[in-house]
Amino acid sequence: MEIVVLLYSLPLLYFIFIIWKRYQTRRDQHCYILDYQCYKPTDDRKLNTEFCGELIRRTKNLGLIEYKFLLKAIVSAGIGEQTYAPRIIFDGREDSPTIADGISEMEEFFFDSVGRLLRRNGISPSQIDVLVVNVSMLSTVPSLSSRIINHYKMREDIKVYNLTGMGCSASLISVDIVRNVFKSCQNKLAVVVTSESLSPNWYSGNDRSMILSNCLFRSGGCAILLTNKRSLQHKSMFKLKCLVRTHHGARDESYGCCLQTEDEQGRLGFHLAKNLPKAATRAFVDNLRIIAPKILPIRELLRFMAVWIYWKTTTSPKSSKKGSNRSVSPNSAVTSSSQAPVKPPVIDFRTGVDHFCIHTGGKAVIDGIGVNLDLSPYDLEPARMTLHRFGNTSASSLWYVLGYMEAKKRLKKGDRVFMISFGAGFKCNSCLWEVVRDLNGGEENVWNDDIDEYPPESLTNPFMEKFGWIQDEDPSTFKMPL
């Protein structure tokens, strides 16, 4: 009898073992952020108003028309006087960069931030199992990842990924690579290094679509320590819940809106096309369609569906026909009774998200996301303040925004942080993090020296006050003062 019971029990025990094994495997596939370290360059690399004026003045290919364009762009960019530039700019050699300038700019960041991150967490470089480096506009031989491995003497069997050309959304691509490695490898530590090299990429021509990048991009970077070790979960800061990547590279108009290219005079620069906002909106909407069901509660999805159906059925198409006594734009919706414009319903992302970590691509990017998601000034504050203090630091900008939230002591256990980034290609990547423990701002948070000054009473920079006289100048008589 006992043998019969045992024989019947074996399949059940095996079934229980399989379920337990799969449960344990899934637990080991989770992706956590243990710590991160944003880079803060030295004060001698700050771009104040006076120096920016000198920099523009010594760019010989610019004239009054370009000066007026730059003034308007800088004043409306939302960037302050505390941002940083590479040393080559202060040496006056931006027109003649060398490969050594780009490498030295990156190494200054690598050796500062990666070193701080490892020391603070008591981790030896030999313990790192995965290294992912993304710097879009600098490719060297040996690779930048090899330079990090050489400097820190990492292991011979370390898994290495070196990304170039991925644009401002590259840090979430790097996180996605780590997440996929963690799915097949247990008990691993990974470091993501994200930055951009500006030294070889200053544009010295007069093409407006390429001048704009000089106004927006600034020096910065971040090193991020991730793990799937179960023993380190309680020490972690964030847990990755989901990540979605959208790529519109197959669309010619999206592909061509952000390009590193040469102008008519053969000067290398970064072209930002007029259709960039349209391409970004398309990628953003497509990305939201995929990630919304993953991060929002069912009640909000059902509410939005009901409201959307009601809006579609009650909106009269007759209002746009000829003979209507009211002028209505093609994109407007009006009710049949009052003929007043009716906005389409908006899904409320705040039902599933507590904090919004938005890429600081520019003031228009932040404001556009705010309008599309119906966000409050409080929701947009971290991105706006990061843009003002550090500028657009490309792929690393998300982590400066996250650092602001942490320094303001906004991040509490269980909170959900929604990251949104855009990049050339054209790409939109987003992800949701869950805060694992209360975060009160670390000792080496990049915002510690400035957080009490933010938000300031006004984000208006002094460029208009100092250089506003340019707007009244006549091109036929204008001469730049020495």
What are the structural domains of the chain?
30-303+348-472 (3.40.47.10)
Query: Which residue is catalytic, options 355, 357, 428, 431?
Result: 355
Q: Could you tell me the pLDDT band of residue 27, with boundaries at 50, 70 and 90?
A: low
Which residue is it, tokens 């094994």? 21
Query: Which residue is catalytic, options 38, 168, 257, 357?
Result: 168
Residue 107 confidence (pLDDT) above 80: yes
Q: Could you tell me the pLDDT band of residue 382, with boundaries at 50, 70 and 90?
A: very high
* Nearest Cα to Cα of residue 171 among 434, 377, 11, 397: 397
Q: Could you tell me the pLDDT band of residue 22, with boundaries at 50, 70 and 90?
A: low
Query: Which residue is catalytic, options 38, 357, 359, 428?
Result: 359
Tokens of 179: 């997440």
Residues 6+ apart with CB under 8 A from 294: 241, 242, 244, 432
Query: Which residue is catalytic, options 206, 392, 429, 445?
Result: 392
Residue 77 confidence (pLDDT) above 90: no
Strand order in the sheet with 189-195: 159-163, 130-135, 189-195, 221-227, 32-38, 238-247, 427-435, 416-423, 355-358
Greater pLDDT, 479 or 305: 305
Tokens of 244: 């979605």
Cis, peptide link before residue 426, omega less than 30° from 0: yes
Tokens of 149: 């491995």
Q: Clarify whether 355 is annotated catalytic.
A: yes
Query: Which residue is catalytic, options 30, 247, 248, 271?
Result: 247
Tokens of 10: 């074996």
Q: Clarify whether 247 is annotated catalytic.
A: yes
CB 417 within 8 A of CB 432: yes
Tokens of 391: 């500028």
| pLDDT, tens digit, 9 for 90 and up, residues 277-335 | 889 999 999 999 999 999 999 999 999 999 988 888 887 555 444 444 433 333 333 33
**Which DSSP symbol is given to 224?**
E
Q: Please tell me the predicted confidence (pLDDT) of residue 427.
A: 94
